[in-house]
Chain A
Amino acid sequence: MSQLIIENLHVSVEGKEILKGIDLIVKENEIHALMGPNGNGKSTLLAAIMGHPKYEVTEGSITFDGKNVLEMSVDERSRAGLFLGMQYPQEVPGVTNSDFLRACINARRDTPISLFKFIKEMENTIAAMEMKPDLAHRFLNEGFSGGEKKRNEIVQMKMLKPAIAMLDEIDSGLDVDALKLVASSVVEMQNETHLGLIVVSHYERFYQLLQPTHAHVLIDGKIVKSGSIDLVTKIDQEGYDWLLKELNITLKKEESKPAVSLGSCAAAVRSK
């Protein structure tokens, strides 16, 4: 049974500690909703699990099926069965979606996938995500709308069949119909493959469609509250204030950047 175990995880970015001791266990078939105000470390957690070079793990451990994830390179983590659907998928001009995905699938196999089988699977997946058939031949995310990029992340997830998937605000940029489609594809995939999920979203509607088995609130680099889907509903209705009061914490204000008019020196204004 697939199991991702995070223990006492501390992560710094450019010397600044963002995560201050995260404990989390994700098993197959589970959906973990990860909530919290912006700038408190949700995306950092997902990127650190995936192995983004900018995020430095200073303490703690991540193990996946008994293996030490922190010793693996980004691509090894992917091949081991982890997937991160990104908030801002990169554009890679010159590399077509189909060449890219075929290379990714072949990287997981001893013998390359037959072209016929690959094309058929890709066509079916594109159709299931209600995207245009020419998607396969377009350059990876280049010139895609926000919604197309997000749907393309799901196309990749479906084709790569991870054991644990992390979705970082995959719902932003999607209209209501696309949101339903993405949610139902995720649920459908879970039924087939017993996928385990960590989902970051600010949209209660998306969580209602997914029906998470667990919910967590991440504030100032720590999981301060865990619960069931009721926690999602409560936060949607009442915000985070009650929780902050209950736990007696005050949110650090994000550094605000003053608006600077053109014609004056931004650095000089900021230093005031």
Chain B
Amino acid sequence: MNSKEYRFDTNSRLHVKNGDFAQILLEGNEIEVEIMCEERAEATVYVQMKDVSVVKLNTNILSGATCKILLWNNSDKQLKVTEEYHVKSDGNLLVSYGELSSGNMERNSIIHLDEKGATAHVFSATVCGNVKKSYIEIAHHAQNSSGEMEHYGIILKGGQFKIEAVGKIDKGASSSKSHQSTRILTFDKKQDAIVLPMLLIDENDVEASHATSLGQPDENQLYYMQSRGLSRQNAMELITLGYLLPIASKLQNDELREILERQIEQKVKELWSM
């Protein structure tokens, strides 16, 4: 693996090649970044957003390439992110969002599956005690394209959370698949959580589904866990970690996984000691 570190404070471009592990730190007011993943390359990109207010990200995944991207929001400022992705034939995109920051966040992300066989997998893990609003769309423009979204969120007292998750299949994009699931845990009555799953389908021969759960932790689960000696708080911590920890292994990099797991565990400890 070819590890490279970058720090961008102005508009920048990045070519990623086969075997690259690019770590990008974004610091500045307004930054636009273009990323291109070469044909048939397998590459990983880790983007940390720190002290940045506006981010625009344009990404192209060329034919046959597999690109795993993790956007980690460390910004405690108000953050606005606009993303556009284009995935070419048989290209694979995995984009994960780690949202543990205490700043407000607004995201608008559109993933275009431009050519046949293109796939996209979106995964997000969010802790929201502030205002976090996302619009995430996977647009299928070609045959045999496949899109999947999984969103996990922990909403705290005073949090305002909204996610619009859209799977859109154009006419002619036959044999495409669009699936999504959203699991939101709330811990208080005083929060605002809105989940809007949408499937906009203009083609008959497709596979599509969505699933959503939103609510407080199951009392039966808590009783079961307590009956084995865990305090209610310990049980809540474990359930919360279960929602958040999987994002740490999305880039399949052990070193990074350990760093992120520590950050998540720290964050969860903070939450429950409040």
Contacts and interface: CB of A to CB of B under 8 A. Distances in A.
Interface of A: 50-53, 73-75, 77-79, 83-84, 86, 89-95, 99-101, 103-104, 107-108, 139, 156, 160
Given A53-B219, A90-B220, A90-B221, A104 B228 contact: yes
B182 to A, nearest CB: 14
Interface string B224-248: 1111111110100011011100100
B231 A107 contact: yes
A99 B225 CA distance: 12
Interface in B186-243: 218-221, 223-232, 234, 238-239, 241-243
**Residue among A73, A74, A84, A93 facing the most chain B CB atoms (10 A cut-off):** A74
B152 to A, nearest CB: 8
Given A53-B219, A95-B242, A99-B238, A90 B230 contact: no
A92 B221 contact: yes
Contact of A75 (B219, B226, B238): B226
Contact of A107 (B219, B220, B221, B230): B230
A107 B227 CA distance: 12
B238 A95 contact: yes
B92 to A, nearest CB: 25
Contacts of A100: 225, 228, 230, 238
A94 B150 CA distance: 13
**Residue among A51, A78, A101 facing the most chain B CB atoms (10 A cut-off):** A78
Nearest to A107: B229
Nearest to B238: A95
Interface in B129-173: none
Contact of A79 (B219, B229, B242): B229
Contacts of B219: 53
A78 B238 contact: no
Contacts of B243: 94
A13 to B, nearest CB: 14
Contact of B225 (A51, A92, A93, A160): A92
A31 to B, nearest CB: 21
Nearest to B217: A92
A103 B224 contact: no
4 tightest A-B contacts by CB?
A94-B242, A90-B224, A78-B229, A74-B226
Nearest to A86: B224
A94 B229 contact: no
10 contacts: A53-B219, A75-B227, A78-B227, A83-B227, A83-B228, A92-B225, A94-B246, A95-B242, A99-B241, A107-B234
Nearest to B229: A78
Contacts of B223: 52-53, 74, 90
